[in-house]
Amino acid sequence: MGKTIATQSGLSNARGDFTVTLLNSPVNNAFAIPGGYVYVTRQLAALMNNEAELAGVLGHEVGHVAARHAAKRQSAATRNSLLGALGTILSGALLGNGALGQIGQQIFSTGSQLLTLKYSRGQETEADNLGITYLQRAGYDPRAMSSVLQSLANQNALDASVKGTSNQVPEWASTHPDPASRVRAALARAGSTAGRTNRDTFLAGINGLTYGDDPAQGIVDGSKFTHPVLRLAFQAPNGFYLVNGTRAVSISGQSGKGEFASASYSGNLEGYVRSVFAGLSSQQQLAPTTIERTTVNGIPAVYGAARANSGNGQVDIVVFAYEFGPQQAYHFATISQAGQAAQFDSMFRSIRRINATEASAVKPRRLSVVSVKSGDTLVSLSKRMAFTDKPLERFLVLNGLNSSSRLTPGQKIKLVVY
C-alpha cells in the first residue's frame, strides 16, 4: 500500500524504488526521506481505522519529499531520520535558550519522539493536498485524509488529558495552530468523490499488533516503569508522567524534567556520575559540587548535584546512579528550578530489582479486533480496554467514534487488551 501511494508522487514509477518500513515504536508518527524510504510506526497504524487513512498519512509525508520541502527549509531530511532523533527533554520553557537549553542533546537519546522536519504552514497545506491527490490517483477514498487528521487531533487531546498538560497540536500536525480548520480544508479538498477504504482487510492486518510499550524496552503503567529484561522497576513522583523510549525513559512534570538511562560503566560509580554530568552540555562545563554514596534497596548508589545558571534563573541538576553489575549501571538525570530538586527524592529511592516471577508477569498490550454483538454499547465495550484510566475516552479515540456514535451488530471495532 505504501509503495502504491509513493508511486503516485512522480518520484519514480517503479515500486521497487521505494522501501516502506513499519517501526516498532509506541509513538504516533510517519515520515519519508529522500531516497524512497517511507516509515510508519505501529502505534500510528493502530490508530488508523482503514487502509485509506494510513495511505493518507503516508501520502502527506511523501508529498513533503516530492515538493522538496526539506531542501527549501535548508535542512537535510537525513538529519531527522530515526537514528538521528534526540530527546531534548530539558525544555526551553524551563531553561531558556542559552547553553543549558541544550543540555541532554549529548547523551539523552530516548527515541520517544521520532523527529520529522518542521515545515511551514504553507508547506503542510501543500503536503495535505498532495496526499489527497495521491489518494485519488490510487483509488482510495480521499476523505480519509480528513478523518485521519481528526483522529490524530483527538489522540493528542486525550494524551494531554491523561498527562494533565495543555492540549498541544500533534507532532505530525504541529505547524497548524488550528487542527479543526485543517480537517475542514482536507474534507473540502477531497469533495464527495468516494473510493475504497479496505477497512476489514486493514483491521485484520493489525489484529494482534503490540499497542504501546514493547516489554523488551520496558513498560510504562501510569507513573510506574518496569523492565522485565533488565529486571528493574521505579516509580515517578506524583504529578509526573513517563514516556518510554528505545534508549531512555523521560520524566516530565510542570516543575521539572529528567531521564532514566544507562551509559558506559567500568566499575567506578563516582566516575560514572561525573561522566554523565560532563556529557549534559556541550556549551559549558558541568560538574557535581557534591558527591555522596548510599544504598537504595540493596543497590550501591552514588549521586551528585550542581546548581547552574539558565536563561530563566538558577536550576538544580542531579545525577543519581546505581550499580546493577560489575559493568552495568543506570542513572537518573533531573533538572528543576533551584530549591526544588527534592521533588525527585521518592523516585530516586524507589528503584529496585524485580524477580523472575514479577518479570514474567509483565505483558504487552495488544490490539484485538472484535465484532459488535447485540446488546453491546460504547460503555460496555470500553470496559474491556486494558486501561484503568479513561477507558471510554480511549475506546472512542481508538475507533474514531464519539459519545453519540451508534454501534451495529457485526461491526468491527478495536480493543486494547492484555
What would the pLDDT profile of 55-65 be if each residue is shown by its tens digit? 999 888 888 88
Average pLDDT over residues 309-334: 93
- For 84-108, b/e burial (b = at least 16 CB within 10 A) is ebbbbbbeeebbbeebbbbbbbebb
CATH superfamily of 215-360: Mog1/PsbP, alpha/beta/alpha sandwich (3.40.1000.10)
pLDDT at 384 over 80: yes
326 vs 4, 216, 231, CA distance in Å? Answer: 51, 22, 16
Confidence (pLDDT) at 98: 35
Confidence (pLDDT) at 66: 80
pLDDT band at 131, cuts 50/70/90?
A: confident
**Cα 358 from Cα 349, distance rounded (Å):** 19
Cα within 13 Å of Cα(416), Cβ side: 25
Confidence (pLDDT) at 166: 57
Q: What is the pLDDT of residues 219-238, one digit of tens each?
A: 999 899 999 999 999 999 99
Confidence (pLDDT) at 177: 39
**Cα 295 from Cα 92, distance rounded (Å):** 34
pLDDT at 80 over 70: no
Q: Report yes or no: 413 and 400 within 8 Å, Cβ to Cβ.
A: no
Confidence (pLDDT) at 167: 52
What would you measure as the largest C-alpha separation in the chain, in angstroms?
Answer: 68
Residue type, 123: Q
Q: Report yes or no: 72 and 119 within 8 Å, Cβ to Cβ.
A: no
Confidence (pLDDT) at 74: 47
Average pLDDT over residues 392-411: 97
| For the chain, domain boundaries | 2-75+117-210, 215-360, 365-417
Average pLDDT over residues 248-257: 92
Q: Crossing angle of helices 51-66/144-163, nearest 10°?
A: 100
pLDDT band at 123, cuts 50/70/90?
A: confident
To which residue does cell 483527538 refer?
Answer: 154
Of the candidates 49, 100, 4, the residue with the CA atom closest to the CA atom of residue 335: 100
pLDDT band at 103, cuts 50/70/90?
A: very low
Q: What is the pLDDT of residues 24-42, one digit of tens each?
A: 999 888 887 878 888 899 9
Mean pLDDT of the chain: 83
Average pLDDT over residues 382-403: 97
The percentage of the chain sitting over the pLDDT mark of 90, rounded to a whole number, equals 56
Q: Report yes or no: 108 and 259 within 8 Å, Cβ to Cβ.
A: yes
CATH of domain 365-417: 3.10.350.10
**Cα 130 from Cα 148, distance rounded (Å):** 15
pLDDT at 138 over 50: yes
The residue among 282 and 160 whose pLDDT is bigger is 160
The yes-or-no answer to whether 215-360 and 365-417 have a common fold is: no
pLDDT at 386 over 60: yes
